[in-house]
Amino acid sequence: MSNPRGVKAYGIAAIRAIVAERVAASSLREVAKDIGMSHSGLRSFLKTGSKPQDSKLKLLKEYVQRLSMDIEDPAEKIDPAELESAKLLLARYVMAPTPSVRERRVEEVKRDVIGEE
């Protein structure tokens, strides 16, 4: 999988490219089932790139998993600048004007990103 110049590695265009590679290697229905989407929703995403937010999250998780599947330490394959950007973005998201909102966001990140309950 290559990252065309000017394409954000975790942007929709890059996710669409990796999903299209998987579909070409198997089938639309099989990939949609693996990701947890309807085949018609996946087909629409591959054509336009626009999806509801929950589907984009499923696609992003699939993409990140595919990026890291053949290596012991997934961070080895992530460009350090992109990793730093992701950390800064998460830190900015978690920082909130009130402690209750900050706590809710930390819990959200733990649940959705780290997988902790």
Local confidence pLDDT in tens for the 117 residues of the chain:
444 455 556 567 777 888 888 899 999 999 888 888 888 888 888 887 665 566 666 777 766 666 666 656 666 667 777 778 778 888 888 888 899 999 999 998 888 777 777
Spell out the residues 6+ positions from residue 64 whose beta carbon is closer than 8 angstroms to its own: 10, 74
* Cα–Cα distance for residue pair 95/102, rounded to 1 Å: 6
Dist. CA 9–CA 33, nearest whole Å: 24
Q: Identify residue 88 by its one-letter amino acid code.
A: L
Q: Let me know whether 83 and 69 are in one domain.
A: no
Q: How many CB atoms lie within 10 A of CB 16?
A: 19
Nearest C-alpha neighbor of 41 from the set 55, 58, 25: 55
Answer yes or no: do 52 and 4 share one domain: yes
Q: Are residues 86 and 51 in the same domain?
A: no
The pTM score is 0.48
Q: Are residues 20 and 42 in the same domain?
A: yes
Tell me: do 67 and 30 sit in the same domain. yes
